[in-house]
Structure 1
Amino acid sequence: MITFFSLFNFSTITSYACSCAGPNTVEEELEQSSVVFSGKVVEIVDENKNKFKQSSADRLAVIFEVEEYWKGLNQKQITVYTERSSVSCGYEFNLNAEYLVYAHEANGALNVNRCSRTTPLVTAEEDISELEKGEKPIEQISNVNKGENHIPTENSTNNNKIYIILLILGLLIVGIYILRRIRK
């Protein structure tokens, strides 16, 4: 019995880094993407930047000033989300650099990963020639949660629930205290 349970304690855990099957063609990537645009990175928002504990899977919000788009949103500014590191399949964008971006929508957010054809604009000649002429954006809308630099996460939703529960408990304790004072 002891030998049987010890097998579980000494077993190894296998984990895999990001692995891509290979790049799609420009046509396939355009078809599969929700948004395709070229633009300049104007801001990178990292909510965990100053936290002691960080993960390669932390999400970053990357805000682009859009120059041209081929599919999706007709906006001058677009925010996409990616993981902090390429180890977690995140695309490592640089501030003030220009990119051709292929983004996929999931849970109401535009996401980019290193397995897509997203690339610096200076190396995107093949894609640009296949995509042909795009359109210039005209709408002045930002999709960064109504102007706030906040990355939606499960933790922020859970934190809000905890605050609401603590507020209700606090009000309940104050109510009980007041009732006891009135009865005396």
Structure 2
Amino acid sequence: MSRFLRASILLLLLASCGSGNFSAPRDLDNACSIVRERPRYYSAMKATERKWGIPVHVQMATIHQESKFIGDAKTPHKFALGIIPLGRQSSAYGYSQALDGTWEEYQKEQRRGSARRDRIDDATDFMGWYMDQTEKGLGISKWDARAHYLAYHEGRTGYARGTYNDKPWLLAVSQKVADRADLYRSQLASCRR
């Protein structure tokens, strides 16, 4: 076998191992369609539900709002004077849009140093961990998608202070998350798995 052929095969093998499908499912308004198209998503969310008690529909609605199910989602860039790039709005990344510091806290506390924000299993486990702590610290029901989204967005300290009350846009977004969670819940109850 020629060196060129061996190098080509090695390159193809490496490229296939490192690449991921980070695109969104086709129909984000239909939980059954998401489950059919990406059964791994559902498996990851069911595992998180079993481990942390966070219902699948709450996870799905939060991921929809945070990343639209795009595994390598990043926040937009900031610009000075409309043209000078200043970097991203935050370090949020992946399905769950976890910030660097919170992700590192999760990795350390859960002893999951190899966990990655662009892997659905790790992202949903992170979300379950975070929401479980939110329930314990703030008493928010694991079924309350609206309140969990507010605490997820503002952080638990911000939620406890009520910082979201000064953000009408965020209150509207949290209601959309709650409405989507209800939609996903009813859809999941009716679709075949």
TM-score (norm 2): 0.27
Q: Which has the larger radius of gyration?
A: 1
Q: Going by fraction, where is strand more abundant, 1 or 2?
A: 1
Q: Which has the higher helix share?
A: 2
